[in-house]
Amino acid sequence: MNSYDLQIIQERIGYHFKNPDLLQQAFVRRFYAKENGGEDNEVLEFIGDRALDIVVVKIIIASFGFYTSECDDYDQNNDFDEFCCEYSEGKLISIKKKLVCKKTLANCIDRLGFADLLILGRGDQHNHIEQEDSVKEDLFEAIIGAVVLDSKWDWQEIQSVVEYMLEPRERLSEKDDDNYVELIQEWSLKRCGELPRIYVGNADYSRDHSCLVRSNEVRFINRHCGKECVINVPEYNKTHFRCELILKGIDKVFISEGNSKIEARKIVCEGVYNYLEKNDLLFSIQDEIDSPNRADAINQLEILARRGYFSIPTYDFEQRYDENGNPIWKCVCHIKERKESFYSISTSKKDAKKSVAFKMLKNVLENDN
């Protein structure tokens, strides 16, 4: 791991290490340390696991807990100022488990692109353990542990990093708003094969940028590279954090501000998405499938469904027999949001399904924008 890797990691977790060696240690697996000397990430993982629990419980309680004095009908003379919660203990335990479960933490590591940076022993490399969810979970916790030690148990910093990496409030929210952070990450991976460069820090524009404020839009010219920078700030004078985002192949630096690192990142990603949409740079449904074909049509339809273009297709089968008594299969394909349905007939049930899936696939690719 080199200094550039460490810089990228710090940008992606929204925290700058005073001791970068701790961050590198978070990526060192035990077998590598045994083979090469030095410390591994297991103690950091232990620390991070406990710190993560505390922060997540704090966030959950802040989301669903309240005091009776906060209620409109509270009577100071007759009511006790007790602590209440919208959910029972069992429900709270369930919510917490969902937020910190192996799969959730592994998905966060995948989204951040950190698994490939693990420092592995020879046996680990041979077995490709970086692909295992449990290993990604350990890495997530070790990074939090490194932040705990580097910040000297500064809970404000620790919670900031947990929120930035895990996005727990987004997961607790019942809203169905678009997740622009994930949309931009997916776009960048598909277009460039890498995640966007994102830097989040305290708002301080005098160092690198000259700016012109126009209503709620601010345009910057970076003095070092001369690139135009575009920012959309809802409350320009009340914000404290700045987020800069760079997409490979787009000759702009996108900048925004927010009252938190999470908010600043969300705002800039929404702005980038709007820019891509305005300039016709977003992928269409036709871009999702590289090579539509009959053999893979069933899976290709499901890929489109899981990416939100429509519901999972359903298939209805009817068995008939020809004049010689041989079975003939009719398969009908439906998609909930579409008026058209298609059918195919074959002597093979599997072949009938492939054929009708391919008919539906061609239809959605030809007719959907």
How is residue 153 written in tokens? Answer: 């148990």
CA distance 131 to 125: 10
C-alpha to C-alpha distance for 234 and 5, rounded to whole angstroms: 33
- Residues designated catalytic: 49, 141
Quote the tokens at residue 310.
Answer: 């429509």
| Spatial CA neighbour of 145 closest among 282, 256, 34, 27 | 27
Residue whose token pair is 């309680």? 61
Q: How far is CA 240 from the centre of its chain?
A: 23
Closest among 241, 256, 235, 234 to 203, alpha carbons compared: 241
Q: Kindly report the CA angle at 127 between 126 and 130, in degrees rounded to 5?
A: 105
Q: Which amino acid is at 38?
A: G
Give CA–CA dist 297/307, Å, rounded.
Answer: 15
- Phi, then psi, of 244 in degrees rounded to 5: -115, 135
Contacts of 174 (CB under 8 A, 6+ apart): none
* Sequence-separated (6 or more) residues with CB below 8 Å from residue 142: 25, 26, 27, 41, 42, 44, 45, 48
Tokens describing residue 234: 């809802």
Collect all residues with Cβ–Cβ distance below 8 Å to 179 and sequence separation of at least 6: 170
Give the type of residue at 101: C
- Name the residue with tokens 């070790």: 142
Residue 222 phi, psi dihedral angles, 5° rounding: -70, 125
With beta carbons less than 8 A apart as the criterion, state whether 285 and 190 touch.
Answer: no
Distances (CA, A) of 263 to 8, 18, 160, 259, 270: 20, 24, 11, 6, 11
